């Protein structure tokens, strides 16, 4: 009888769990990289065009409550940037590779034409099921 510890160890070492953990770690590092690029490069560029030095400082106040919509704008820009990078550098290439591999795959025929009646018969048939003529294998 196996213990729960060995079952848990087998679960953790299963490929899907390890792949998921690696994906999460790489995703967090990638998100931090994109967030820094947006904060340090893209936002100042946009601010230079539109005249505001820092989006995170954009706020408005209603009845003493401060709404920091500049932080929200930074988050939206970060999200759109991450989505664009993932789309153009992950989704598009993977879709191209998948379509290329599907084009290269030619399924092996499993039927052939009967030489007498031209019906579809199994490729390893010795006799046609429709006209009963003998066919060579």
Q: How far apart are CA 120 and CA 114, in angstroms?
A: 6
The tens digit of pLDDT for each residue in 14-43 reads: 767 777 888 899 888 988 888 888 778 877
* Residue 97 predicted with pLDDT over 80: yes
**Domain chopping of the chain, boundaries:** 4-106, 109-137
E strands in the chain: 60-62, 65-67, 111-113, 120-122
pTM metric for this prediction: 0.52
* 124 within 8 A of 108, measured Cβ to Cβ: no
Mean predicted lDDT score pLDDT of the chain: 82
> What is the DSSP-derived secondary structure letter of residue 89?
I
Q: How far apart are CA 2 and CA 60, in angstroms?
A: 62
Predicted local confidence at residue 62, as pLDDT: 93
Under CATH, what is the fold of the domain 4-106? 1.10.1200
Instruction: Identify the band that residue 53 occupies on the pLDDT scale cut at 50, 70 and 90.
Output: low
Predicted local confidence at residue 79, as pLDDT: 84
* 18 within 8 A of 24, measured Cβ to Cβ: no
């Amino acid at each position: 009888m196996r213990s729960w510890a060995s079952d848990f160890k087998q679960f953790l070492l299963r490929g899907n769990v390890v792949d998921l953990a690696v994906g999460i770690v790489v995703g967090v590092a990638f998100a931090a990289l994109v967030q820094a690029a947006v904060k340090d490069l893209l936002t100042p560029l946009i601010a230079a065009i539109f005249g505001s030095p820092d989006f995170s400082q954009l706020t408005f106040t209603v009845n003493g409550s401060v709404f920091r919509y500049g932080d929200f704008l930074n988050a939206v820009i970060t999200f759109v940037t991450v989505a664009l990078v993932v789309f153009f550098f992950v989704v598009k290439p993977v879709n191209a590779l998948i379509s290329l591999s599907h084009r290269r795959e030619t399924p092996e025929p499993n039927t052939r034409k009967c030489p007498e009646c031209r019906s579809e018969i199994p490729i390893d048939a010795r006799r046609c099921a429709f006209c009963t003529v003998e066919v060579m294998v």
